[in-house]
Structure formats: structure tokens, C-alpha cells
Chain A
Amino acid sequence: MTEEDSSAKMSEDVEKYLNLNPPCSSSSSSSSAATFTNKSRNFKSSPPPCPDHVLENVLENVLQFLTSRCDRNAVSLVCRSWYRVEAQTRLEVFIGNCYSLSPARLIHRFKRVRSLVLKGKPRFADFNLMPPNWGAQFSPWVAATAKAYPWLEKVHLKRMFVTDDDLALLAESFPGFKELTLVCCEGFGTSGIAIVANKCRQLKVLDLMESEVTDDELDWISCFPEGETHLESLSFDCIESPINFKALEELVVRSPFLKKLRTNRFVSLEELHRLMVRAPQLTSLGTGSFSPDNVPQGEQQPDYAAAFRACKSIVCLSGFREFRPEYLLAISSVCANLTSLNFSYANISPHMLKPIISNCHNIRVFWALDSIRDEGLQAVAATCKELRELRIFPFDPREDSEGPVSGVGLQAISEGCRKLESILYFCQNMTNGAVTAMSENCPQLTVFRLCIMGRHRPDHVTGKPMDDGFGAIVKNCKKLTRLAVSGLLTDEAFSYIGEYGKLIRTLSVAFAGNSDKALRYVLEGCPKLQKLEIRDSPFGDVGLRSGMHRYSNMRFVWLSSCLISRGGCRGVSHALPNVVVEVFGADGDDDEDTVTGDYVETLYLYRSLDGPRKDAPKFVTIL
């Protein structure tokens, strides 16, 4: 239906509805409906009378403007007809845990899905806390949607296991397929990517982020079809194998809509230069290795600065693997326009950072290694007044490495970047003072993730636990939705979190707390808690039991290397039939000989509409 048609029909229907005319002849309703008032009494027993059709039609037209899934979920709860109409009109389905329902249920409820977002493994799987082959296979989903939604356009997967066969089925089943995004996925190789490149003729987005892609020694770039493409975004920085540069260059030339390009480290600086010259319309660029293949001799060197100057639309820069500092200044001309800069794979010193960052007045997102030190953070604080998101990763991710960033840097950022909304900060040492300062200076914070790498480390100035700092964060940052804690923390810190963390949806805890009380505070507080991930903390069955009243309303709870017992976990599973309780060890071994058989290394529980999964590997026990 075109817009004119649908609005014409809508006003016709609304007229009829308001005029309370007898049922229109086109409707297939029965004779039971005489007047409107009678109909309402006969509502349940009679087939849908005309006003209901009218209402559904009106609703359908209204709901097409509703895109937020929270709103749509609310709409679907009003009554059965609203549920039906909403199900007919939902175009994008988001599934936060692929095991919370079966593919059959998805296709039964939603009939016109064009876009699917699926998340698989829980986040702690990224840190080797989960044995391989745990699950989260994409196969059953692609098989079901291939039949049910031939018009599917977009698939976005995170932490899923995707095979080449899955990608082949996707490419064959969806002729209008436009966007594929794979974040932290594995199980496929360049051959799967080649099939997608070749068969998805409408492809606009092919984004591979931090995924493991096996090298099938295939020139996948040459598999894109001849002629002009629809490509708008191509990200392959995680593909750890060389590519056919000539084919890439040709692809870029025939992709006039390309805005975002993230190359891998096998693209040299000279090659990058060639690409930039051919695609000055780029808005987002991921450089490959930021060093030339050959050491240049004098004037033969390409003018990198000019190439950057020509790309007037660049607002986002990333990559810089294997960079050579002498070339870094080439990006200077784009700095004033940059809104996002990712230096987190480059060992950049404060000295190298300062001339660049001093021009980045518009930056909103900045990722870097702690190699920039407190000094570099001070430079960021001095210039980047629009900063919304900061991530500082450790160059040397060990507990006892040197700590180039500290509370000094954190405090400086809090004083300079008042609009900060999201921070991830790895450090060796921290003070309550600095954390409290941030809580007071940055009231817009929604995400606060502090990782003090030394386990159980107290405030290094006062020697006290970090309770007060995190307490200040939850008290002062009233918009906080995500929190990750670290350092020496007593139960008191958790009493603050439980009491003041009113909007917290995600909480990460490691090596913290003294007793079950801490877990109780959280589970009896934090009314919006959805995702709880805890490792190596002294929480046992008593703490676990204290959350019984809410596990059915949470996405998941992860508890590893804590003090819970099999009996305790079984208790949860018996009490909550719509919660799946998985128990397993970190390396997939059956390790009941060296420790008591009742010991549970990892508990992963989640709500599910369709009961326990049938694809659990041997090492997983579903209680």
C-alpha cells in the first residue's frame, strides 16, 4: 500500500467507525453484529466485526511509526488485537539471548520481519571463562528465517557461532539482503564471506568486528560482482590474512556510496593513500597498518597529508596498527572534524598524542591505550569538551605491570569533559577521591566501568577499600545504567549499589565483596537489573536464593568461581520452571575428583520461553 492509499483507507475506516454504520459489505463478518453496542457484548464469541477490522487497520498505520522495542513490547500487552497488530508490524526483532526462545516461536509470532538482531554467548565468554563449543549456533535461526522471511534484509549477530554453510544459506535465501554485521563471532572463514559478497547483490553493509575469521586462502574481495555496487560500509579489520589490493581498489572505485571503510593491517600506508584518493567521500576510515611497505626516498613519498585533506567528510578514524609515528601528523587536517578517534591498537605516547588531540575539539568518542599516560589524558581534558565516551585499554594487560594512568588522569578527564556519558578505564591503582570527583563532575554518566587490574587493591593513597568511590558514583550519577566494579570492595559498596543504583541494568563484579550480604543487597535492590555477571567473589547459596523473586525477569545471571553448590543451583531450577539453569566448568572437564562433587564452577542462568536447549554439549549440565 502506498502512503496515500493507506491514509485514504484509514480515514474511510475511521469515518465508518465513528458514524457507527452497520457493517460494511466488504467485511466477512456474520449476522450477529446489529448495532455497535451489541457487538461489544458479543465481542468474544462472534467473529471479528468490522470496527475491529477498522481498529486494527488504524492501529497498523499508527504502529508503523513505533520503532522502539520497549514501546512495541508495551503495546503488545494491551490486549489480544493489539498484540496481533503489533506482531504483524514489527520489522526489526531484537533477541538479547538466543536461548530465551526457539526460532519456531519467532516465526510464529512475527510475520514480517526484515531485520534480526541476535546475541549469543554471555560477555564473560570473551575472557576464556567458557569452554569452546558451548553453543549459540546461528544455524537453526538461519534455517527458520530462510523459509519464513524471504524478504529479510538485515542480520546483526553478536557472540554467535556462524558457519560458512550458514552464510551460504543466508546469501541464497534472501534476495534483497542488505546488511550483515558480525560482532565477536566465530566459526566461519573467508569462504563464507566470499559467498555473501558474491550472491547478495543488494548488499550495503558488510561489517566484521572483532570476529575470528579463518583464512581459507580465498580472494574474497574479487568475489564481489562486477559493476556498480550498493556498498555503504565495508569493515574487515579483523580478517587476519592478506587481501588482493588491486581488487579492493577496483571495488572502491565502483562503490560510489561507500562511506565507511575499515581495512585490515595488510593494507599499507601507500595503499591506503590510493584508496583515499579514490574515495574522498568517506566519512569513516579504518586505516590498515599505518606504515609504508617500503621506506620512502625523498619526494617519491605520496603526500599523505594531502590525501587526508581531500577527505573532507571524514569524521571517524580508527586502525593505526603497526603505525610509524612520523606519519601520524598526516591526519592533522581532519582532526577538527573528527567526532570519533580510535587509537586503541597504537602504542602512542603523550608526546605523539598532544599535537593531534589539541585540534580535536569536536571529538565525542575517544579510545586509546594507557600508553598516552595521565599526561595524555590531561591533554584530552584540555581540548575535548564534547567528549561523551572514553575508553582507555592497557598496553600491558597484567596485574603487576606499570601503571601509566591513574586517578590523576581520571580526575583530569572529569574536570575537563563534563559531558562524559560513558567510560571504560583500565588502571593499576585508583583513589576514592578521583572516582568521587568524576561522580560529581560528570552527572550525565550512564556507563561507568572501572577496572583496577590488581585484584583486591585498595585506594592506594588512603589504603581504604574503594567502597566510597563507587558509592559516590551510584549516588551522584542518577542516569547510570551500566556499572563494572573492581579493587578492594566490602559488602558496604554493594549496599550502596543496591540502594542507589535505580536504573542499573548491567552489573559486572569480579574479586569483590565479603559475604552473601553483598549479593543480597544487589538482588534485593537495583530494580532494573537485567544482566548480572560475577566472578571470583565469596557468594554462596544464600546469596543466590535471595534473587529467586526476580530471575524470571532478568536476561541472565552469571556466577563463576564463587561459593555456590549444585544443590543451591538445583533449588533455583526447581523453583523457577521458566528459568534455565546451566552449570559447567571453565575448561569443559568433568572435574569432580579433586574437589567436592557439589562444587559449581560456573552457573549461567537465563529465562526461556521454550525450556532448556537441546544442543547443550556434554560438559554443560542443565539442572
Chain B
Amino acid sequence: MDEFVNLKETELRLGLPGTDNVCEGKESIISCCNNNNKRALSSDNEKEIESSSRKTETSPPRKAQIVGWPPVRSYRKNNIQTKKNESEHEGQGIYVKVSMDGAPYLRKIDLSCYKGYSELLKALELMFKFSVGEYFERDGYKGSEFVPTYEDKDGDWMLIGDVPWEMFICTCKRLRIMKGSEAKGLGCGV
């Protein structure tokens, strides 16, 4: 039913699903060709991860913003002078749950606080006290038994880093840090 109603999804256009803007140049053309394969080409992603990690090398990694912390009422947050412009964006945080295999508690984080994968992963590492290992486009994360994954809008479990950041933010429903053998299965593309 929904397929017929939501024609926008089937519309042919430049740009990946989840982005409303037209993507620039080479990146979009390559991505379109790989539309049915959810793992897009490495070059774009690696560049993005590289550049964002260069940014964060100069400043300490931003801690994940925990829900309700620090304990300041939103009424107060929204009313402090000169914060008005910012609070309009802050008000619509993209909150997703994060769970880690073996840890008994869930966390929630606001994806809009991060500029890219590198920041996000660093924050997750700090939050759950683990390390992700190194990301490879073909083989996923190597060097650690922990693999960061996310569930997208279609209900598929994907590797964090597989798609461009903007697309990730739009399609990510929740995060899960998988452990051990289960994680290996996600390592390769379709």
C-alpha cells in the first residue's frame, strides 16, 4: 500500500535516499549505481571518516550527550538569552538508543551532536568502554571483537560507516554494539 502512496521514494533523482539535496558531483553518480547494494563505495566513506578524524584530532572527542544530563529543565535551556537560535535545532535532537551486547543497560544519544562517524565512534567507545578496531570498506571492522552496527528504517542491521553520514542520520533507528561471532556476518557486503 505504502509503495503506491509514497511515490517520492521511487522518484529518480540524483542523491541518496534520505538526502533531500542534490549531492555534488562524482559521489552521487557512483552512489546511484550502487543503490541496491547498501554498502556504498569506500572512497567516499573513507574520505569522510578521514577528514572528520582530522578535525577531531585537534579537539578532544565530544562526549555523548546523555538524556537529561546535566539536569537543567528544558524550559530554562530554551529561555536563556542568545541561545534562542541554537535551541531551535537542539530541540529536535535525533535520539537513538544504543545497546551493547553483554551490557545490561541501554543508553540514548543524540546523533545531531556529532559531525561524523569518527566523533560518534569515539563517543561510543568512551560511553561503553571498548574499542572498535579499524574500519575497512570490504571487511568491516577489524582488530576488535566489538562491531558497531545500526538498524535502519527497513529493519536491516548495517555496519556503522557503510553509508554517508547524512544518510545514516536519516535512516538510523537504533544502534547496537555487537560482540563476537554474530558480528562477523555483517562484515561483508551483499
**A: which residues have CB within 8 A of B?**
124, 126-129, 184, 210, 212, 238, 265, 321-323, 344-347, 369, 393-395, 397-400, 426, 451, 453-455, 510-511, 535-536, 561-563, 586-587, 591, 594-596, 599, 601
Pick the contact of A595 from B71, B73, B82, B106 — CB < 8 Å? B106
Q: Which residue of B lies closest to A344 (CB)?
A: B76
Query: Is B79 a contact of A561 with CB atoms below 8 Å?
Result: no
Q: Which of B32-40, B58-66, B179-187 contacts A (4 or more CB under 8 A)?
A: B58-66
Pick the contact of A599 from B68, B73, B95, B105 — CB < 8 Å? B105
**B: which residues have CB within 8 A of A?**
60, 62-63, 65-77, 79-83, 95, 97, 99, 104-108, 174, 176
- A interface, over-half SS: loop
Q: Which residues of A contact B60 (CB under 8 A)?
A: 400
Query: Is A595 a contact of B108 with CB atoms below 8 Å?
Result: no
Q: Which residues of B contact A238 (CB under 8 A)?
A: 75
A-B contact pairs, 30 of them (CB 8 A): A124-B68, A126-B71, A127-B73, A129-B68, A210-B73, A210-B76, A238-B75, A265-B79, A321-B81, A323-B81, A345-B76, A346-B81, A369-B80, A394-B72, A395-B80, A398-B65, A400-B63, A451-B70, A451-B71, A453-B70, A455-B69, A510-B71, A562-B105, A563-B105, A586-B67, A586-B108, A587-B95, A594-B174, A599-B105, A601-B105
Q: Which residue of B lies closest to A453 (CB)?
A: B70
Pick the contact of A596 from B67, B71, B104, B107 — CB < 8 Å? B104
Query: Is B105 a contact of A347 with CB atoms below 8 Å?
Result: no
Q: Which residues of A contact B104 (CB under 8 A)?
A: 563, 595-596, 599
Q: Which residues of A contact B73 (CB under 8 A)?
A: 126-127, 184, 210
Chain A to chain B: the 10 pairs with minimum beta-carbon distance, closest first: A127-B68, A397-B72, A453-B70, A594-B99, A129-B68, A126-B73, A128-B68, A127-B71, A210-B75, A399-B63
Q: Which residues of A contact B77 (CB under 8 A)?
A: 397
CA distance A503 to B149 in the complex (A): 49
CA distance A190 to B46 in the complex (A): 53
Query: Is A347 a contact of B81 with CB atoms below 8 Å?
Result: yes
Q: Which residue of B lies closest to A346 (CB)?
A: B81
Q: Which residues of B contact A586 (CB under 8 A)?
A: 67, 108
Q: Which residues of B contact A399 (CB under 8 A)?
A: 63, 65-66, 69-70
Query: Is B79 a contact of A594 with CB atoms below 8 Å?
Result: no
CB distance from B163 to the nearest CB of A (A): 21
Interface centre among B60, B69, B83, B108 (most CB of A within 10 A): B69
CA distance A400 to B70 in the complex (A): 11
Query: Is B63 a contact of A594 with CB atoms below 8 Å?
Result: no
CA distance A323 to B81 in the complex (A): 8
Q: Which residue of B lies closest to A598 (CB)?
A: B104
Query: Is A128 a contact of B65 with CB atoms below 8 Å?
Result: no
Instruction: Tell whether A594 pairs with B106 under 8 Å between CB atoms, given A129-B67, A345-B81, A395-B80.
Output: yes
Q: Which residue of A lies closest to B174 (CB)?
A: A594
Known: A426-B72, A561-B105. 7 other contacts (CB 8 A): A321-B81, A322-B81, A345-B79, A347-B81, A393-B72, A399-B63, A536-B66
